[in-house]
Amino acid sequence: MAKILKKEKLAQDITRMVIDAPLIAKKAQSGQFLVLRTHAKGERFPLTIADYDRDAGTVTVIFAQVGKSTLQLGQLSEGDDILDVVGPLGVASHFDPSIKKAAVIGGGLGCAIALPQAKTLHAMGVSVDMIAGFKTKDLVILEDEMRSASDNLYISTDDGSFGAKGFVTDVLKERMDAGVKYDLVVAIGPIIMMKFVSELTRPSGIKTLVSMNPVMIDGTGMCGGCRLTVGGKTKFACIDGPDFDGHEVDFDAAMQRLAMYDGLKEREEDCNLIQLAEGEQQ
């Protein structure tokens, strides 16, 4: 069991939780994730590690309450225990020490996953432009944290209610057209967003990393639910990723596979990992 030490509402249906997990915190790195289970008959579901504190022995997750399991997690309070918290899982992000300038792009809830990437790069001495996109002003999260983890923060909203009106690709294109030379672009968010970012950087040959979060169940590569096609080969996001070269990912195939689960999920929210319906066994 892992105790919830802090629970905070960041925006409508978006929650941040700090969890007591010293063994996980000791090993956690940016890019990795946890698999949680709230109760004995609950499903296993993954959440990316949004932050960790080795000294305090805590890990932080940020999630949208959109599916049955995340709703159940959101109903827990400070002081309550989460039955199972397993991790850290996945391959930690590794960045070339020669990188001088990077753009870290987050879409919606994907900003919670992009933030630790930006922090890691910034701590390496990399000049970081962080670009964060949201649907509307009311859904903007982590503004102060993103500003602290970057040299420049650019926020856009689809409706123009906060920051620039438009999409993260519009901001990235403006920066590139202005002559900014990026050694690396990291894009984390909805699959369609990551696809368009990758296509934007492809002609310039800018190394582009994306975080693929398809359906995951066991988180250890045994179920095969998170398989992807990367560079013409089958990869598993839970053990080979979640970071992949955006210029090699078959995004269309990934979107087609996700569409197969439309009848089994309650809805999909930005970069929140898909929650499979638990069905009659619950």
**Considering the domain boundaries, does residue 60 fall inside one?**
yes
The CATH number that applies at residue 70 is 2.40.30.10
**Considering the domain boundaries, does residue 67 fall inside one?**
yes
| Edge-to-edge order in the sheet of strand 33-37 | 81-82, 2-11, 14-20, 58-64, 45-53, 33-37, 84-89
Give the chain's count of helices (H) and strands (E). 8, 16
Give yes or no for a contact between 13 and 64, defined as CB atoms under 8 angstroms apart.
Answer: yes
**Considering the domain boundaries, does residue 260 fall inside one?**
no
Which structural domain, as residue segments, surrounds residue 58?
2-89
* DSSP label at residue 190: -
pLDDT at 175: 97
Joined tokens for residue 44 = 């296993």
**Considering the domain boundaries, does residue 25 fall inside one?**
yes
**Considering the domain boundaries, does residue 220 fall inside one?**
no
Q: What is the pLDDT of residues 122-164, one digit of tens each?
A: 999 999 999 999 999 999 999 999 999 999 999 999 999 999 9
- Identify residue 167 by its one-letter amino acid code: F
**Considering the domain boundaries, does residue 212 fall inside one?**
no
Instruction: Find the helix or strand (DSSP H, E) in which 8 lies.
Output: strand 2-11
Output the pTM of the full model. Answer: 0.86
**Considering the domain boundaries, does residue 108 fall inside one?**
no
Cis geometry, peptide bond prior to residue 88 (ω within 30 degrees of 0): yes
Instruction: Find the helix or strand (DSSP H, E) in which 259 lies.
Output: helix 251-259
Q: What angle do CA 169, 231, 218 make, to 5 degrees?
A: 90
List of the chain residues with pLDDT < 50: 265-282
Domain count, the chain: 1
DSSP string, 62-123: EEE--SHHHHHHHH--TT-EESEEEEEESPPP---TT--EEEEEEEGGGHHHHHHHHHHHHH
pLDDT at 261: 62
Q: What is the pLDDT of residues 162-191, one digit of tens each?
A: 999 999 999 999 999 999 999 999 999 999
Instruction: Kindly tell me the burial class for residue 231, based on how many C-beta atoms sit within 10 Å of its own C-beta (0-12, 13-18, 19 or more).
Output: exposed
pLDDT at 216: 72
**Considering the domain boundaries, does residue 38 fall inside one?**
yes
